Structure 1
Amino acid sequence: MTSIDVTAFQRLEAEGRLLKPALKAPTHRAGRFGFRGEIALSLDPPVTLEAAFAATEEGNAALSFLAGSLTSYKQLPALVEILGPSAKADGKYFIYVGDLDRASRYQISIDGVSLYVFPIDDTSVYNELIDVLYLDKTKMKKFDTAEKLDVIADGAAKYDQTFEAITYEEGLKRL
């Protein structure tokens, strides 16, 4: 059974950044640990990556998968800074941002960490992930939280869609 202490979540947990967990436990995949909740970017003022889904494998110092929602595009650098060594260049990170134009779909690299950046409206990160990863929503309804995270993380690992690659600064100009 995989313990949080041997995963990329250990530091985030020690810093008190893993909030409101619906899941913070091993998943059904051997050696995988998952998190479903919020990740604190700052405590004062409180800023979080909401509706977060994340996974890593035992002994891995970085998250293999992360998805969640930010209120503002300007919060992206803070997210990458907080993740620090818990993020890796080849991880699959899907960030939904509330203040992006609906047609916006970007790949942005910040400090060597590549992010898929999408707009989000009145839907959930979960529903957005099911759509973008082409997962079967009917099958997903039958799964528990850990199994849903496994299916999403596996789908993200296979994801190879490309979007316009821009810098963070270029994205600021498009707001």
Structure 2
Amino acid sequence: MTAIANSALDALDARLVKPTHKGPTHVAGRVAFRGEILLTEAAAPALTSAIASADTNAASLSFLAGQLATLSQLPVLADALGDALAPNGKYFIYVGDVKRGDRYQIALGETLVYVLPYDDVSVYNELIDFFYLDKTKMKKFDTAAKIDALAEGAAKYGESFPKLTYEEALARV
């Protein structure tokens, strides 16, 4: 039995590569992954700087963040993740070709995804700022505790951005 068994991450296991963390966190019943998530069965493209968490015995990810090179890869990501995305999850995707200052939410079926510009700063650092987390405290945490803090920050995040269809967002890049 793997450390991510009985979670949404288990169904994605073949796509989870280059892990710096893959297993339980300090929150009981939570498992997490930090690394890259392949969008296809080939080695590229991938959701890079990926951070994800799921509750054991849950079919979907509760939290996901990462970076895509282009917005055109968003539907490919949605296909790759399939049922791991759910309406009650919090998903933050930083995209290389989204214009600086643009922030919106895109519906992928029933699921809303936050789409944000990527400004050559790590996704991890972007999320710390985005969720107003204490950088000094975060430096003292191990990887599992860092993912817990980000997942909890995401769960509390309630701000809404303009809701666009994928086609409307694609027309903006």
The normalised TM-score by structure 2 is 0.97
Q: Closer, same or farther in 2 for the Cα pair 1:124/1:43, shift >3 Å?
A: same
1:1-150 residue pairs with structure 2 within 5 A?
A: 3-13=3-13, 16-44=14-42, 46-150=44-148
Deviations 1:136-170 (A, max 9, x none): 11100000000000000001000001111111000
1:57 aligned partner, one-letter code: D
Superposed displacement of residue 45, structure 1: 6.6
Deviations 1:69-121 (A, max 9, x none): 00000000011111111110110000000001001100110122210000011
Superposed displacement of residue 4, structure 1: 1.2
SS of 2:155's equivalent in the other structure is helix
SS of 1:5's equivalent in the other structure is coil
Q: Distance in 2 between matches of 1:106 and 1:57?
A: 27
Superposed displacement of residue 43, structure 1: 3.5
Superposed displacement of residue 44, structure 1: 3.7
Superposed displacement of residue 3, structure 1: 3.4
Q: Distance in 1 between matches of 2:109 and 2:5?
A: 26
2:71 aligned partner, one-letter code: Y
The normalised TM-score by structure 1 is 0.95
Corresponding residue for residue 154 of structure 2: 156
The percentage of counterpart residues that share the same residue type is 54
SS of 2:150's equivalent in the other structure is helix
SS of 1:38's equivalent in the other structure is strand
Runs of 4+ that moved beyond 3 A: none
SS of 2:124's equivalent in the other structure is helix
SS of 2:160's equivalent in the other structure is coil
- Tell whether the 8 Å contact from 2:105 to 2:161 is kept in structure 1 after alignment: yes
2:12 aligned partner, one-letter code: L
- Tell whether the 8 Å contact from 2:3 to 2:22 is kept in structure 1 after alignment: no
1:145 aligned partner, one-letter code: T
- Tell whether the 8 Å contact from 2:15 to 2:37 is kept in structure 1 after alignment: yes
Consecutive unaligned residues of structure 1, counting only runs of 5 or more, are: none
Q: Distance in 1 between matches of 2:111 and 2:96?
A: 21
Across the two proteins, how many residue pairs are aligned to each other?
172
2:34 aligned partner, one-letter code: R
Q: Distance in 2 between matches of 1:133 and 1:126?
A: 11
Q: Distance in 1 between matches of 2:33 and 2:117?
A: 22
Deviations 1:48-89 (A, max 9, x none): 000000000010010000000000000000111111111101
- Tell whether the 8 Å contact from 1:80 to 1:113 is kept in structure 2 after alignment: no
SS of 1:117's equivalent in the other structure is strand
